[in-house]
């Protein structure tokens, strides 16, 4: 962002703006988030490009996913996505002084896990 220190950044942003950026990061992590898979995607694209240039005309084209490890099952990714969205909504609600999703709907954490 062109700001030399965290202290200067926090001096320019309000608490609300920092919270909004955090919520956005939880939904769309620009560095790949906890899994850090963004490097895997870039490497997969490069590997697929090289492989496609050198493949025979009769073979199926490669995609970046052909060169990336799959660390999570599809169900685990869906659960993480729902949990990330819920966390982001709770942060936004708390910022605006509203009750969290669970408080508003009077759901217990156990009930929510059962529904997933």
The answer on pLDDT for 40 being more than 70 is yes
CB-CB contact of 48 with 64 (8 Å): yes
Q: Is the pLDDT of residue 6 over 80?
A: yes
Where is pLDDT greater, at 16 or 107?
A: 16
Ordered by start, the domain boundaries in the chain are: 1-30+72-116, 36-71
User: Which two tokens mark 90?
Assistant: 């709770």
13 touches 32 (CB < 8 A): no
pLDDT of residue 42: 84
Q: Interior CA angle at 93 toward 87 and 97, to 5°?
A: 140
- Whole-prediction pTM: 0.36
Q: Which residues are CB-contacts of 55 (< 8 A; sequence separation ≥ 6)? A: 61, 62
């Amino acid at each position: 962002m062109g700001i030399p220190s965290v202290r200067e950044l926090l001096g320019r942003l309000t608490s609300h703006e920092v919270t909004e950026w955090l919520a956005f990061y939880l939904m769309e992590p620009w560095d790949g988030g906890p899994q850090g898979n963004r490097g895997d995607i870039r490497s997969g694209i490069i590997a697929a490009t090289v492989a496609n240039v050198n493949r025979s005309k009769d073979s199926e084209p490669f995609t970046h996913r052909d060169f990336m490890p799959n660390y999570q099952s599809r169900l685990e990714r869906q659960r993480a996505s729902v949990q990330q969205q819920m966390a982001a909504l709770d942060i936004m609600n708390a910022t605006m002084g509203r009750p969290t999703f669970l408080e508003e709907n009077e759901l217990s954490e156990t009930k929510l896990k059962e529904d997933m």
